Amino acid sequence: MSPVAWVLALPVRAYRLVLSPWVGMHCRFQPTCSAYALEALETHGAVRGTLLVLRRIGRCHPGGGDGYDPVPPPRR
């Protein structure tokens, strides 16, 4: 993971540690949005990973779907 992606992952890790136990397991997608964010940042780096995370969070609404939604493989 690049240093910038590592810094961007800190708020996600903090959320998982502090807020997630209080919010509960109500994610519509599998893997959860926080797990998706960490994997996207690790796989795709800071810029593309952030864009993928924002797109995923944008789909998290009543009409946005649900189910299995893995991080896409890296481009070659």
Q: What is the pLDDT along the chain (76 residues), one digit of tens a residue?
A: 889 999 999 999 999 999 888 887 778 889 999 999 999 999 999 999 999 999 999 988 888 888 999 999 998 7
Amino acid identity at 76: R
d(CA 29, CA 67): 5
Ramachandran assignment for 65, one of left (phi > 0), alpha (psi -120 to 50 degrees), beta (any other): left
What is the model's pTM? Answer: 0.89
